[in-house]
Amino acid sequence: MTSKEILKIVVSAADSKRAVDTVALDLTNISPVADYFVITEAGNERQLSAIVDEIIDKIEENGGRVARVEGREGKSWILVDLIDVVVHVFTSSEREHYNIEKLWSDAPLVDIHEWVE
């Protein structure tokens, strides 16, 4: 599975659980860390867990591999490492606090509109 295919699965899965303000950053020419970062937010802790669970389920259903998941115990920022795609799911206050989009402002946005409803 290509990193772009993984990205599409992640964005669609997050959207199916009503994730808010999802953005995808293209890191391919900027960092060796990953090809893409996905940043999204949930309205509450329960939704945050549901979004992460859906992403993991859909990746595994499509033959992908989840390298690791971090932050489940904190319930405000969960990171899902899919090797070429790293997913950050935040509560809104945590997203505002860490402002990852600003840290990676050199990365172009990926047009994800066709993958969300």
Structural domain tally of the chain?
1
**Dist. CA 59–CA 45, nearest whole Å:** 21
- 117 part of a folded domain: no
In a domain? residue 32: yes
Q: For the segment 51-103, what is each residue's pLDDT rounded down to a tens digit? A: 999 999 999 999 999 999 999 888 899 999 999 999 999 998 899 899 988 88
Strands 36-42 and 85-91: parallel
Tell whether 93 is covered by a domain.
Answer: yes
Domain hosting residue 41, numbered range: 3-107
Q: Tokens 């840290």 label which residue? A: 103
Kindly state whether residue 116 falls inside one of the protein's structural domains.
Answer: no
112 lies in a domain? Answer: no
Residue 115 covered by a domain: no
Q: CATH code at 83?
A: 3.30.460.10
Q: Is the whole-model pTM more than 0.85?
A: yes
